[in-house]
Structures are given as C-alpha cells and as structure tokens.
Structure 1
Amino acid sequence: MRTQIFITIFFLIPCLFMSHAWADDIVGKWKAINDRTGVHEANILIYQNNDGSYDGKIEKIYDLPNGTPQKVEKCTQCAGELKDQPLIGLRILSHFTKHPKNPNEYVNGLVVDPETGKTYKGTIRMSPNGKKMTLNGYVGISLLGRTQTWIKSRDQ
C-alpha cells in the first residue's frame, strides 16, 4: 500500500509542474504571420499582467519580402490612447484570460489591427505542443472574423 502511494505521488507531482508549464505557453515572443500574404510581419511579445490577464506588444517589424520597409510607423488610425503611438511597443493584444475549462485557450481579449486602427474581440488557441497559436479577431461572432497563425520564437 505504501508503495502504491509513493508511486502515485512520485508521478503526480511532476504532472502538476508540467501542467503549470503548459499554462504559461502563451508568454514569450511570437512571430506574427500575415494570414493573407504568409509573410512574417512582426515579432510580438506576450506577457502576463499582475491581474492574471495577458497582453501583447509589437517588438519588431520586418520589411516586406522585396526589401521595402513597412509604410506605417505610427498607429495613425487608432483611437484613444493608441492614437499616433509608434508601432514598436504598441499594445495590440489586451485583456486575454485563460479559458476556465480549456488551458490551451485564451478568451475575452481585444486585438488591435495597426493597419486600420480597428479593435476586435479575440480568442487565442494554442497548439498541443505550444509552438503555434491561432489568433482569431472578430466582430460579433468568431465565425465572422480573421484568423492568423503565429509561431513561437526560438530566441526567448
């Protein structure tokens, strides 16, 4: 009996730590891939706030494939506190929280499209291996939105 308890505890404790590690998979640097062009447009840093929610800001912007720099340097179309803010450092993800029943899903967030300045509701779903996430921004229901796949950056 003592052996069974020991074995159960021996295998249970590492599982608890692994589930905690999976829960933080969203935190880190991500390569934002444009859903229309397939181009790696920017690096986004996602971080956890003191209240447990998650935000993300632009860390780096890449030139277009032909070497042309991105035209937009500020979020001129944004409203409120984001109006005319530089794209580098711009908070484009905010208020995401873990889904209470699915640890690989983050809900109730907001997504800012820096090209148009529009803000959308958002959800994030992590891949099982934690290396990809799908970001869905939408108005109304999630079926009427736009989805991008982002790739976890190796240089954390």
Structure 2
Amino acid sequence: MLLKPMLIALLLAALPGIAHAQQASPIGRWRTVDDETGKAKSVVEVYQARDGSYAGKVVEILDTSDGPNPLCNKCAGANRNKPIKGMVILWGLRPAGSGWDGGMVLDPERGKSYRSKLQLREDGRKLGVSGCIAFICRSQEWLRDPA
C-alpha cells in the first residue's frame, strides 16, 4: 500500500529533470542571425541523424535580398548552384562537454565549411554556433524559432 504513493512521489520528483533533459537538446527550429549584420537570415531545423550525430538543414529563407530561393553559387562540389533552402548546413556534431562538437557548418554565402561547435544558452532559447578554420573563428547566436 505504501509502495504506490512512494513510487508516484518519486516519479513526480523526477519529472523536472526529465523535462530539463529534453530541453537540453539542439533539436528544433532555429532562426539564424548573421554575425555581421544582426539580421535573421533563415530557419534551420536541427535533427538527430541516423548515425546518432546532429545535423541541420535550411527549411526557410527569411532574408530574401538575394531572391526568394537563393542558390549556393560559391559552394563547391554537390552543393554548387543548388538551392540553399533544403540544404544540409550542419553535420557530424556529437555531444561533448556542455555542448556538441566535432562537426562541420557550411556558410552558403561564402561557400566555405568550418569545424563547428554548438552550445545551448539562456535555458535553450539560444544556440551558440561557432565555426573555425585553423585559428580563424566566427560565431553566431541563433534563436529558437517559436513556430
């Protein structure tokens, strides 16, 4: 008889930790914010890939100054002259410390890929995204998309 109320109390005590664990994930939709102009550029959906790593693809273009469906003109290889919308721009990120590391991020405007790291900020409302080539690094802060 006493076991059932104790079990319920234990489960209720664990719920905040479970909710926090679910929030401590980069999975979701993020508004990218250009580190140079401060303008929202696109919406990237971050998801867990089949191999367990995290990836992200552009699902919406917000800044249409280059047209409603810009192409990756500066990209090399398979992405050259492909629409940016639908393009995978983050891949290979795995949990590391307080964030995710070991992956790559593609900047479609420059056509360059950078070693990348992600870190949740402000209780999961912001995502710090950094990319580095050698010792040259850039970072952006993406905002969780309310949609």
The TM tier, using the shorter chain, reads 0.7 to 0.9
* Bigger fraction of residues in strand: 2
User: Which TM-score applies when normalising by structure 2?
Assistant: 0.84
Of 83, 86, 90, the residue aligned with 2:87 is: 90
Separation in structure 2 between the aligned mates of residue 51 and residue 12 of structure 1, nearest angstrom:
33
Residue aligning to 2:24:
23
Q: What percentage of aligned pairs have identical amino acids? A: 27
The answer on 1:74 being equivalent to 2:71 is yes
**Post-superposition shift, 1:15?**
4.7
The answer on 1:150 being equivalent to 2:145 is no
**Post-superposition shift, 1:97?**
0.9
Question: SS state of the match for residue 19, structure 2?
Answer: helix
Question: SS state of the match for residue 116, structure 1?
Answer: coil
Q: Runs of 4+ in structure 1 displaced over 4 angstroms? A: none
**Post-superposition shift, 1:12?**
5.2
Number of equivalent positions: 143
Of 125, 133, 138, the residue aligned with 1:131 is: 125
Cα deviation per residue 1:94-141 (whole Å; 9 max; x = unaligned)? 111111x32xx0101101110111110000110141000110010124
Residue aligning to 1:41:
41
- RMSD of aligned alpha carbons: 2.4
Cα deviation per residue 1:2-43 (whole Å; 9 max; x = unaligned)? 89xx3883455325523431333x111111011111111111
Residue aligning to 2:107:
113
The answer on 1:60 being equivalent to 2:60 is yes
Separation in structure 2 between the aligned mates of residue 22 and residue 28 of structure 1, nearest angstrom:
10
Instruction: Report if the CA contact (8 A) 2:100-2:117 is conserved.
Output: yes
Separation in structure 2 between the aligned mates of residue 42 and residue 54 of structure 1, nearest angstrom:
18
Unpaired runs of 5+ residues, structure 1, are none
**Post-superposition shift, 1:85?**
1.4
User: Which TM-score applies when normalising by structure 1?
Assistant: 0.80
**Post-superposition shift, 1:88?**
0.7
